[in-house]
Structure 1
Amino acid sequence: MAADRVGHLAASVQDPAFFGRCAARYRAVGFGELDPAEERSWRNSWPPLFEALVRAGLKDLQVHLEYGTPGGGRRLDALIVGAAPDGVLRLVIVELKQWQTCRILDTERVMRSDGLVTVHPVHQVAAYRSFFQHWRPQSAPELEVRGVVVLHNATAAEGAALAAGAGADAGVPVLTGDELARHDETLARLLCCGDLVAPDAGQVEEFESIRWQPSSRLLDHVGADLEGSHAFALVGDQQDAFVRVRQAAARHLPGRGQATAPAGGGGGGGAVITVSGGPGSGKTALAVRLLGRLMRAHPATRPRFITPSGTLRAHLLDAVRGHSAARELFPSAGSLRSTARQTGALIIDEAQRIKRGSAAGLPPDLAAVIQHVPLAVIFLDERQIIRPDEGTTVDEIRTAAQALGRTHHHLELTGSFRCSGSAAYTAWVDNLLYGTPQPWTGHAGYELALAGDPFQLQEWIDQATTAGHTARTTAGFCWEWSRPRASGATALPLDISIDAPSTIPGGPTRTWRAAWNASSALTDPDDGRLIAPHSQLWASHTGGHQQIGCIYTAQGLEYHHAGVIIGPDLTWTDGHWHAHPEESQDTALRHLTPTQYLPYALNTYRVLLTRGTHTTHIHATAPDTHDLLQTLIHPN
């Protein structure tokens, strides 16, 4: 939000008008309205930090104030950029707190003097540090990332107690007002900048040109998370939510070695926690981390993870196939009611997909969870409701919990950890489908393009796959999905058929044909070679790029490059989206009226358009829809 050399910013923070300019910039970059308490914290914390940096002889280092983390989940109070003598860039994350004292609950949680339980600041910084390392693209310069917590109102003794409470291996020092007041040569070292030299203009430009991208995928780390190795860092809202759920677990669940919940903890009624967030906001990453934590801290409760998405469950089981208890940890959605009577802690992901059945109101299976499970953590996104027999909402869950005397908390995840952390892209998709379509102005690090025909789209997918990336195409369910006719078939039926203009003026129309993903794995009967993976593993297993996925095999998953075919069931005409249920082959939807079908079609394409971590290319079969997209998406 503000970036300059230490010396220049040290002079700026002495000018009261500087804070007003920062507040204006805060709003301009899309952070929203500034909380007055936030601006007060700037006025109280920035001057002592810069006074110390100047006194330590660090006036030529670069500083970014309120630096937005990749994914938009949180802003760093300050990020110092320096260089080692060998030219390697070094970052120092500075977390500023105005605290004097706090109560240490455990190595990861503290209670502030106002009673709020929050992440231990040392672990907050450690998560930021890990996150930068995981999001550094291979093309970026080598980086070393450090961190320090600065409590400018605290004494050395108070800081030492906070640091000791974080555990010995955190590697993030705590600096207090006593240390900031030093005038000797050790101050730069205490600030983790003792070996840094001023970066030259080229190095600053090189750092600022880095386009942070996720270098590790959730499913690559599921097994490690369950075993307690946190390779996938939680940041910002995710970390706050993790603390809130742990706090509820401590109140309502027995700990390791305990038979009952802690006395006086309010365990009688139990708790229901809803966690909502858009595509790529980190819901599944947080859910998996919570399962691992509950397994270790509350084993007697037999924690379980259930998702109505068979595709997501298949990928989770595949990711942890070396874990001896994997199938027990991830029971099927069909066992939701029985599992609710056997577990003390249940995590439900993609809860909006739970079937309602014939009953009005909350789905009976979910009602059983709220009635019987002492701690239920329910993840959902109401804009991913894609069928009329599904569609749980936060309000319904809150009402049911309160009727049973259960404590209810609602948490919101606002970050964007998919689409190269581009909140701009997810906002573009939401404007396209639910608001006023806007031109794509671009977001460095994320590519959006329009394919003139499906041949172009498939060529791009093939090239990305050859280059070693995970690339998949999905489409609206607008073509019949047949099964291989013979048990020994070596090819899938080419059910999808789309006409495209000739590449030669006046030439004949070309027809592009493709197969849906296989309902079951297809292998060559002669040599056992895999021709097509099972539909539930289509998004990650070899060969999946040669088939087309649909909403049911893509929801909840991600891949590097996403091709999307908007079919004839949703078209843009006369300035509005129009639904055509007669064009759908989905028996759960095609009987609906156009008005009824429209929200499900919009939600479906929102899911398909937000699967790519790096790139999305779109093809629309309807000419009017293609024309709209052509006015919004300019050639790269």
Structure 2
Amino acid sequence: MIVYTAKKKAFIEDVRLNRIHEKILLEFRRRLSRSVAAKEVDSWRHSLQFMSNLMLDQAIPDDAGVSLEYHIPLTSKRIDFILSGANEQRQETAVIVELKQWQQAEPLLHKDGIIRTPLGGGWRETSHPSYQAWTYASLIRDYNETVRTESIRLVPCAYLHNMDDGSAVNDPVYAPHTSRAPVFISRDAERLADFLKQHVRYGDERDLLYRIENGRIRPSRSLADAVLTMLQGNDAFVMIDDQKVAFETALELAHRAQQGKRQVLIVEGGPGTGKSVLAINLLARLTDRDMATQYVSRNAAPRAVYEAQLTGSFKKSRISNMFRGSGSFMDAAPDSFGALLVDEAHRLNEKSGLYGNQGEHQIKEIMQAARLSVFFVDEAQRVTLKDVGSRAEIRRWAERLGAEVTELGLASQFRCGGSDGYLAFVDQLLQIRNTANDDLESVDYDIQVVDSPQALRQAIVSRNANNRARMVAGYCWDWKSKKDPVAMDIELPEHDFAAQWNLTRDGSLWALAEHSVEQIGCIHTIQGLELDYVGVIIGPDLIVRDGEIQTDGRKRSSMDRSVRGIRKLYKEDPETAKREADEIVKNTYRTLMTRGMKGCFVFCTDPETNAWFREQIQTPSANPVMRAADYEALPYPLLDLEEVVPFENALPVYDLAVAAGEFSDPQAVEDCDWMQRPDWLKAEPGHFVTRVVGESMNQRIPSGTWCVFRAKPAGSREGKIVLVSHRDIQDADTGGRYTVKRYHSEKSADDDGQWYHTRIVLKPESRLFGYRNIELTEDAASDLQVIGEFVTTLS
């Protein structure tokens, strides 16, 4: 997504008239339904003035493209400034400029790509601007097929326009990074202008950034698929910003620990922030440095999955020497390892052994066994009563053992569509914490509530093309099939639904097993792993009454060790039991709902709860009435409600996003604004007015044109222009689940002579390159909703 885009000449004018920050902020609010901090608005005003001054160079073509705040797909990162056009050889080029308002910096000679600068009220370590710009370009290359298939050049650089002394950022230690992405300071304005002219000699004639923004996104690589490549010494993931800082800090601490005091590093991060990627990267790098290093986890599932991916490429003895359970260090000699990398450290237990009665404390045993212990923690993923891996507990043991503690945080988001907003929404939804993210308007992630477990199963099976979609559930049903292979575990007779828990033969490899899409996993077989799509069944341990979530650990299966002892605790200390169970139940569903990289489908077994979740999760259009500011270029005036005679002298006006939802009776005067009916138009009930934005139909409907549609048309739609909605559509122009296209369908008759769709094709009609047909197969076609049929344009 690009927040602002214009030609160079228009950009300079927006800056000259001191309205550039207002335009960016307006687009943030319109496209993301949120604002930004005043400090960021001030940075736009300040930094973009410097860029505008550079753009005054006449050798930079007036029709070069300027794009601001480009959101890198599948991440939470944005690029400040992009100049697009073509170089001397007519190769299409996008110059990525990372803007910094830094005034001071200090080089760090012992950490690759890391520098110190005043941030947030103190001196902090952060990634070097050149490294940052280069990684952003690399992410676009990795994710965007348009960039790769059309050989588009991405040229990164950084501009520190407030910095007078460039000795720190240009220290020779950063040469590998500045050679790939040069850094410019305040006195380098002319050099930067020359750099821009070198790479953008001609204008952007084919809307380069528009094609990049709407290009096909390459599926994200999963850690499980990349673990072999990483352990063979190859870079499978680009580490950005806080990830890079954590990686380099761990390497430095590993070296320091060999020479002096024992070191402990706590890395805190939520789901999808790259904790496991960091752990495997460190395992590869430290092992390559001949340091005895092991990946440690309490949960067997991720270890089993990673080991399975290595089988056949590494010797079994080598694999077993790299991956260990957290209870393996009871008898380890002190300092047996150079480093132990503890993933999902929040899952650590106090005791070890089959009956939980061996050893003293897992945290202590791990720290004693290694010179460096790295604990990757997300306390909101504590999902059993025995989980003790909190930051406070880790610090307590470090102090007792005389170890130095370093703490870092990860914020960069790579799961859930790269959306921090979705994670905050889940916390708000489950009433874990108040995040103010009570809707999904700004979230580009496929989250849906379905009406039945069959619908959930169908949704997941249909998305399992890459064997990366699975159903999971709260552990509220006994695992009967563990002893009786034909028994059903999760039975919901009111829905005529039955399924088994993950098969015993698959064990911890359930997430990889070929046919396991038919089974249902639980927290123990999915925590620490990621999927493309996850289907979550919320059981009776979490219900909603009068808008309040109620949890009850006693509704869990007695076979679930997560809450073993909870029933006794309810009798002895009800308040403590309720508080403990509430945290564990909510954290369990939070963890399950954040396993999917692309989407999450939810079904609640309690009807009232399912209805409440549906109400919360649907993208709200709480106020479908458009305000005056939204009626840009509306060709006919709005009428006061007292004047309105529906469809005789007035037509209802809707925002396109609202029209694409299930808006109410179009004759309900109080629910919308009404526009004066044109004299030449014969209106009829069901007509409505909306604005079509985007270029996919510009041969017939120019972008921004106000149009009349006929709501929910009857009869054949073949060959007609229609406004449609579908869960699998991501419109190239709006990013929404709705689109305006030319409709074509192919049909067949069943044995009873009834016709059904075998394929629906939604065709763009654009003069611009890059738009593709949207094709829906038989299964997907049944979910297509035709919102309206195009009648005419109004301008």
TM-score interval for Structure 1 and Structure 2 normalised by the shorter chain: 0.7 to 0.9
In 2, the alpha carbon distance for the partners of 1:244 and 1:183 equals 32
Q: Deviation digits for residues 360-407 of structure 1, max 9, x if unmatched?
A: 9x9712023334533221101111111111132112222332444432
The answer to which of 220-229 and 97-106 deviates more is 97-106
1:616 to 575, 600, 618: 600
Instruction: Name the counterpart of 2:99.
Output: 96
Instruction: State whether structure 2 residue 65 is matched by structure 1 residue 62.
Output: yes
Instruction: Name the counterpart of 1:453.
Output: 452
2:521 to 537, 549, 553: 549
In 1, the alpha carbon distance for the partners of 2:91 and 2:474 equals 48
Q: Decide whether aligned partners of structure 1 residues 204 and 169 sit closer, same or farther in structure 2, where only a CA change above 3 A counts.
A: closer
Instruction: Name the counterpart of 1:285.
Output: 277
In 1, the alpha carbon distance for the partners of 2:130 and 2:343 equals 29
Q: Report matched runs for 1:475-514 at 5 Å.
A: 475-483=473-481, 485=483, 492-501=486-495, 511-514=496-499
In 2, the alpha carbon distance for the partners of 1:113 and 1:160 equals 10
Offset of 1:121 from its aligned partner? 3.1
Offset of 1:154 from its aligned partner? 7.1
In 2, the alpha carbon distance for the partners of 1:282 and 1:30 equals 26
Offset of 1:128 from its aligned partner? 1.4
1:5 to 7, 13, 21: 7
Offset of 1:178 from its aligned partner? 5.9
Q: Deviation digits for residues 482-530 of structure 1, max 9, x if unmatched?
A: 34557xxxx55322211235xxxxxxxxx2111111122xxxxxxxxxx
In 2, the alpha carbon distance for the partners of 1:439 and 1:155 equals 44
In 2, the alpha carbon distance for the partners of 1:157 and 1:608 equals 47
Offset of 1:58 from its aligned partner? 4.0
Would the aligned equivalents of 2:344 and 2:378 in 1 still touch at CA under 8 Å?
Answer: yes
TM-score (norm. length: structure 1): 0.81
In 2, the alpha carbon distance for the partners of 1:31 and 1:285 equals 31
Q: Report matched runs for 1:31-430 at 5 Å.
A: 33=37, 45-55=47-57, 56-70=59-73, 73-82=76-85, 90-97=93-100, 98=102, 102-103=106-107, 105=109, 108-112=112-116, 116-136=124-144, 142=150, 143-152=152-161, 161-162=170-171, 165-167=174-176, 171-175=180-184, 180-181=189-190, 186-190=194-198, 192-194=199-201, 197-200=203-206, 204-209=209-214, 214-253=219-258, 261=259, 267=260, 269-297=261-289, 299=290, 301-321=291-311, 322-324=313-315, 325-338=318-331, 341-357=335-351, 364-371=361-368, 373-430=370-427
| Structure with bigger RCO (C-alpha 8 Å, 6+ apart) | 1
In 2, the alpha carbon distance for the partners of 1:182 and 1:588 equals 61
Offset of 1:223 from its aligned partner? 2.1
Q: Decide whether aligned partners of structure 1 residues 13 and 320 sit closer, same or farther in structure 2, where only a CA change above 3 A counts.
A: farther
Q: Which runs of 5+ in 2 are unaligned?
A: 571-576, 619-660, 662-726, 728-795
Offset of 1:350 from its aligned partner? 0.4
Q: Decide whether aligned partners of structure 1 residues 211 and 283 sit closer, same or farther in structure 2, where only a CA change above 3 A counts.
A: farther
1:602 to 561, 571, 586: 586
Would the aligned equivalents of 2:113 and 2:177 in 1 still touch at CA under 8 Å?
Answer: no
Q: Deviation digits for residues 211-237 of structure 1, max 9, x if unmatched?
A: 867521122222222233112111232
Q: Deviation digits for residues 444-483 of structure 1, max 9, x if unmatched?
A: 6421112211111122222223x44521000111111134
Instruction: Name the counterpart of 2:651.
Output: none
Offset of 1:555 from its aligned partner? 0.5
Q: Decide whether aligned partners of structure 1 residues 223 and 162 sit closer, same or farther in structure 2, where only a CA change above 3 A counts.
A: farther
Give 2:552's aligned amino acid: H
Give 1:500's aligned amino acid: E
Would the aligned equivalents of 1:152 and 1:177 in 2 still touch at CA under 8 Å?
Answer: yes
Q: Equivalent residue of 1:171, what SS?
A: coil
In 1, the alpha carbon distance for the partners of 2:265 and 2:161 equals 35
Would the aligned equivalents of 1:337 and 1:368 in 2 still touch at CA under 8 Å?
Answer: yes
2:510 to 529, 535, 538: 538
Give 1:311's aligned amino acid: A
Number of aligned residue pairs: 587
RMSD over equivalenced CA pairs, Å: 3.8
Q: Deviation digits for residues 332-379 of structure 1, max 9, x if unmatched?
A: 22213445631122211101111123999x971202333453322110
Offset of 1:431 from its aligned partner? 0.9
Would the aligned equivalents of 2:107 and 2:168 in 1 still touch at CA under 8 Å?
Answer: no
Give 1:47's aligned amino acid: Q
Q: Decide whether aligned partners of structure 1 residues 573 and 160 sit closer, same or farther in structure 2, where only a CA change above 3 A counts.
A: closer
Q: Look at both structures and tell me which one has the larger radius of gyration over its CA atoms.
A: 2
Q: Deviation digits for residues 60-98 of structure 1, max 9, x if unmatched?
A: 333333444445544433233446799986432212344
Offset of 1:569 from its aligned partner? 1.6
Would the aligned equivalents of 1:100 and 1:151 in 2 still touch at CA under 8 Å?
Answer: no
Offset of 1:42 from its aligned partner? 5.3
Would the aligned equivalents of 1:469 and 1:561 in 2 still touch at CA under 8 Å?
Answer: no
Instruction: Name the counterpart of 2:760.
Output: none
Offset of 1:285 from its aligned partner? 1.0
In 2, the alpha carbon distance for the partners of 1:7 and 1:366 equals 61
In 2, the alpha carbon distance for the partners of 1:351 and 1:187 equals 47
Offset of 1:16 from its aligned partner? 6.2
Offset of 1:156 from its aligned partner? 11
Offset of 1:536 from its aligned partner? 1.0
Offset of 1:275 from its aligned partner? 1.0
Would the aligned equivalents of 1:225 and 1:289 in 2 still touch at CA under 8 Å?
Answer: yes
Identity %: 28
The answer to which of 550-559 and 22-31 deviates more is 22-31
Q: Equivalent residue of 1:335, what SS?
A: coil
Instruction: State whether structure 2 residue 563 is matched by structure 1 residue 589.
Output: yes
Would the aligned equivalents of 2:491 and 2:497 in 1 still touch at CA under 8 Å?
Answer: yes
Q: Decide whether aligned partners of structure 1 residues 606 and 77 sit closer, same or farther in structure 2, where only a CA change above 3 A counts.
A: same
Give 2:11's aligned amino acid: L
Instruction: Name the counterpart of 1:567.
Output: 539
Q: Equivalent residue of 1:562, what SS?
A: strand
Q: Decide whether aligned partners of structure 1 residues 588 and 462 sit closer, same or farther in structure 2, where only a CA change above 3 A counts.
A: closer
Instruction: Name the counterpart of 1:508.
Output: none
In 2, the alpha carbon distance for the partners of 1:350 and 1:304 equals 14
Give 2:493's aligned amino acid: D
In 2, the alpha carbon distance for the partners of 1:444 and 1:438 equals 10
The answer to which of 544-553 and 138-147 deviates more is 138-147
In 2, the alpha carbon distance for the partners of 1:198 and 1:86 equals 14
Would the aligned equivalents of 2:113 and 2:174 in 1 still touch at CA under 8 Å?
Answer: no
Offset of 1:329 from its aligned partner? 1.5
Q: Deviation digits for residues 180-200 of structure 1, max 9, x if unmatched?
A: 32599x54354x434x53255
The answer to which of 94-103 and 159-168 deviates more is 159-168
Q: Decide whether aligned partners of structure 1 residues 469 and 316 sit closer, same or farther in structure 2, where only a CA change above 3 A counts.
A: closer
In 1, the alpha carbon distance for the partners of 2:147 and 2:532 equals 16
Give 1:296's aligned amino acid: D
Q: Decide whether aligned partners of structure 1 residues 395 and 182 sit closer, same or farther in structure 2, where only a CA change above 3 A counts.
A: closer
In 2, the alpha carbon distance for the partners of 1:551 and 1:88 equals 50
Q: Which runs of 5+ in 1 are unaligned?
A: 254-260, 262-266, 502-510, 521-533
Give 2:306's aligned amino acid: L
Would the aligned equivalents of 1:609 and 1:616 in 2 still touch at CA under 8 Å?
Answer: yes
Q: Equivalent residue of 1:221, what SS?
A: helix
Instruction: Name the counterpart of 1:464.
Output: 463
